[in-house]
Structure 1
Amino acid sequence: MELESELIDWTVYTETRSALGPDFVRILGYFREDGTQSVAKIEAAMRERDAAKMVIPAHTLKGEAAQFGAVKLSSAAETIELTARKYVEYHQSPEELLEPIVALRPMFEETLADLDRESSPVIQRQANGFGRRASGF
Structure 2
Amino acid sequence: MSFEGSSLVDWTAYNQARSELGAGFVRILGYFREDGVKSVIAIESAMRANNAAALVIPAHTLKGEARQFGAEPLGMLAEKIENIGRDCVEAQDTPEEALSPVARLRPLFEETLTLLEREASPVVAVRRPTGGGFGRRSVPAGM
> Normalising by structure 1, what TM-score?
0.88
Aligned to 1:2: 2
Q: 1:12-51 alignment to 2 at 5 Å?
A: 12-51=13-52
Distance in 2, Cα, partners of 1:121 & 1:107: 24
Is 1:107 the equivalent of 2:108?
yes
Q: Name stretches of at least 5 consecutive residues in structure 2 with no aligned partner.
A: 127-143
Aligned to 1:79: 80
Distance in 1, Cα, partners of 2:52 & 2:34: 22
Which has more radius of gyration? 2
Aligned pair count reads 126
Aligned to 1:130: none
- Which structure: greater helix fraction? 1
The one-letter code sitting in structure 2 at the alignment partner of 1:119 is: A
Distance in 1, Cα, partners of 2:58 & 2:117: 22
CA displacement 1:72-95 (0-9 Å, x = unmatched): 000000000011100000011100
Partner secondary structure for residue 125 of structure 1: coil
> Normalising by structure 2, what TM-score?
0.84
Distance in 2, Cα, partners of 1:35 & 1:54: 14
CA displacement 1:28-72 (0-9 Å, x = unmatched): 000000000000000000000000000000000000000000000
Distance in 2, Cα, partners of 1:10 & 1:61: 18
- Per-residue deviation at 1:121? 5.0
Partner secondary structure for residue 8 of structure 2: coil
Distance in 2, Cα, partners of 1:94 & 1:5: 31
Is 1:125 the equivalent of 2:125?
yes
